[in-house]
Amino acid sequence: MRDVAVGDAVRVVGPTGQVEWSQVIGWLHREPTNVGEYLRLTTSRRQVNISAEHLVATVKDGKIDFVKAQEVGVGTPILECDTSTGTSSIWGNAVQKVEKYRAEGIYAPLTMAGTIVVDGVAASCYANTRSHTAAHAAMKPMRTMWKHNPEKMQKQPHVGKHIPGAHRYVDVLARVAGKV
């Protein structure tokens, strides 16, 4: 995540489960030097590092469901993506191990799709929420701003007054929701 920049194209998972490309349109939260607490979710094929509050894609009743990473346990099937063969396939694979650790850097890029594939695992762009759908709807103004003025979005500083490193729009939403 450290090397991802606004405007980059990254892999995402669309609403029907297809793997596709989407642009990074901004940072919901970005603090490269801050130390955060993370979870390492390990399956038989993949390992992903993610904050406990971040939403990760799981498979429930044959459908994609987003849950907080802290709710994922051994046996929970998370959505993995293989893009190495030129075709994109996805499947659920059970988590075999969950570990806690601390590391430098807090990153939450926002894509047009609202999802992102990290280390071969599908995740939501959103954290500190229970609903990927509601968070994605709340970010519509940022997606609209990107469509109409991407240059301004690329230059917009992270000036959150209450959440260091947060985009000012996210900072305002958190205040309205009573999270800060």
Tokens of 144: 């609209």
Residue 27's beta-bridge partner residues?
109
Domains of the chain: 9-177 (2.170.16.10)
Give per-residue pLDDT as tens, 68-107.
999 999 999 999 987 665 555 678 899 999 999 999 999 9
- Measured CA to CA, the distance from residue 55 to residue 137 in angstroms comes to 15
DSSP letter string, 109-164: EEESSSEEEETTEEEEEEES-S-HHHHHHHTHHHHHHHHH-HHHHHH-----SSST
Average pLDDT, the chain: 87
- pLDDT (0 to 100) of residue 65: 92
Give per-residue pLDDT as tens, 60-78.
887 889 999 999 999 999 9
Least confident among 2-11, 78-87, 125-134: 78-87
- pLDDT (0 to 100) of residue 16: 75
- Measured CA to CA, the distance from residue 26 to residue 102 in angstroms comes to 25
